[in-house]
Amino acid sequence: DQQVKQNSPSLSVQEGRISILNCDYTNSMFDYFLWYKKYPAEGPTFLISISSIKDKNEDGRFTVFLNKSAKHLSLHIVPSQPGDSAVYFCAAAYNQGGKLIFGQGTELSVKP
């Protein structure tokens, strides 16, 4: 039972353009959502998060949007850079601390 889903295994974007990574969830009890970035042979690193009481959170080139009615969140990267090429995981939680439920990941490739 996959509670967090990333339906696009890969995405290719031209440098300077916008990257949009999508994530859907099924559990309405989730109240916190996060994006992690992972390079090969390294552990994931935290990128940005959003509480369920908000619908948008922005940090530099990265913005996360949350649509609770649709149980959907997205990560926008503008402008995309070649160094952004990595696997991006969305994750969800329903308490402060504790386990994270991850999606399968989307591999982003930003071409120069």
Member of 13, 21, 34, 73 binding another protein (CB under 8 A) = 34
Query: Which one, of 80, 95, 77, 99, lies nearest residue 21 by Cα?
Result: 77
- Give the angle subtended at the CA of 59 by the CAs of 72 and 99, to the nearest 5°: 55
When binding is defined by CB under 8 A, the residue of 1, 41, 83, 112 that contacts another protein is: 41
Question: Can residue 108 be called a binding residue for another protein (CB under 8 A)?
Answer: no
**Is residue 20 within the footprint of another protein (CB under 8 A)?**
no
Q: Considering beta carbons, is residue 14 or 71 the nearer one to another protein?
A: 71
Q: Is 83 in the site for another protein (CB under 8 A)?
A: no
Alpha helices in the chain (DSSP H): none
| Binding flag, residue 97, another protein (CB under 8 A) | yes
Whether residue 72 contacts residue 23, with contact meaning beta carbons closer than 8 Å, is answered with yes
Nearest to 15 by CA among 64, 83, 89: 83
d(C-alpha 30, C-alpha 51), whole Å: 9
Rounded least distance, CB 74 to another protein, Å = 17
Residues that bind another protein (CB under 8 A): 4, 6, 32, 34, 41-46, 49, 89, 91, 93, 96-105
